[in-house]
Amino acid sequence: MTIFELLIALSATALIGMAIASMLFATTHGTESSKDMRVLVVKERTVTGRLAAAIRSSKMILSSGGDYMVLWMYDTDGSGKPNRDEIRYIERVNGSGELWSYTVDWPDAWSTDTISSNNTEYELTANFASLIPALKTQSWFVGEKWGTGVSAWTTALNDTDAQAATLASYRLTFTAGDLSDLAVGAAALRNSGVVGGTLN
């Protein structure tokens, strides 16, 4: 075998190796894309399902803005005003893309008197967005992570006054790997008795 023949054989082997490597890379990339798509679908269904259920089961939207929403879940004591343990705060953390939900969870060790003294009742005119940072420092205002990869969240209400709104439309952008997708949905509140931000 001459050196020329040997070089030809080596070149042919190298070309075959490159072709096989390209095929393996394409297969791996295709598998990763399919995996990312599955992850994206699971994220969308989980987060949108939780968000829609939270809005739908709430009495009123107390406040809403970029990447956050404050919900009055129910009027347990019938006072017509939201107490701390009747509020749900939902926010998207801009840096991490995580969606969190916060509600009051009183420790079992607390007495009824202690809970009553901490269960502040708010006027509907209160600035609920400004109240949340202080509540988040309390151990009994517990957060639950609802999802990750939420790169954007916007909400549109059917009334300029959030507390008079009966329908919330939302758009959430999800990312997984190199893929991104937009989920659009809407949920109607069970608060048809609310007019102009006050209860009938």
Q: For residues 93 and 137, give the distance between their C-alpha atoms in angstroms, rounded to a whole number.
A: 16
Which residues form the domain of 30? 3-199
Please state the domain count of the chain: 1
Q: Which pLDDT belongs to residue 198?
A: 37
Question: Alpha-carbon torsion 160, 161, 164, 165, what sign?
Answer: positive
The DSSP result for 127-170, as a single string, is -HHHHHHHHTTSTTEEEEEEES-EEEEEEEESSSSGGG--EEEE
Query: How far, rounded to the nearest angstrom, does the alpha carbon of residue 179 sit from its chain's CA centroid?
Result: 18
Q: For residues 65 and 49, give the distance between their C-alpha atoms in angstroms, rounded to a whole number.
A: 20
Q: Which pLDDT belongs to residue 66?
A: 83
Question: DSSP 3-state assignment of 66?
Answer: coil
Q: For residues 25 and 73, give the distance between their C-alpha atoms in angstroms, rounded to a whole number.
A: 51
pLDDT digits (tens), the chain, 200 positions: 576 566 666 677 777 777 666 666 555 555 555 666 787 888 888 899 999 999 999 999 999 998 999 999 999 888 999 999 999 999 999 888 999 999 999 998 999 888 888 999 999 999 999 999 999 999 999 999 999 999 999 999 999 999 999 999 999 999 887 888 899 999 999 754 443 333 33
- The tokens for 169 are 């439309």
Q: Which pLDDT belongs to residue 9?
A: 65
- Side-chain-side CA neighbours of residue 24 (13 Å): 6
Q: For residues 29 and 35, give the distance between their C-alpha atoms in angstroms, rounded to a whole number.
A: 10
Q: For residues 173 and 43, give the distance between their C-alpha atoms in angstroms, rounded to a whole number.
A: 10
What residues have CB less than 8 Å from 14, skipping those under 6 apart? none
Q: For residues 103 and 74, give the distance between their C-alpha atoms in angstroms, rounded to a whole number.
A: 12
Q: Which pLDDT belongs to residue 14?
A: 74
Q: Which pLDDT belongs to residue 10?
A: 65
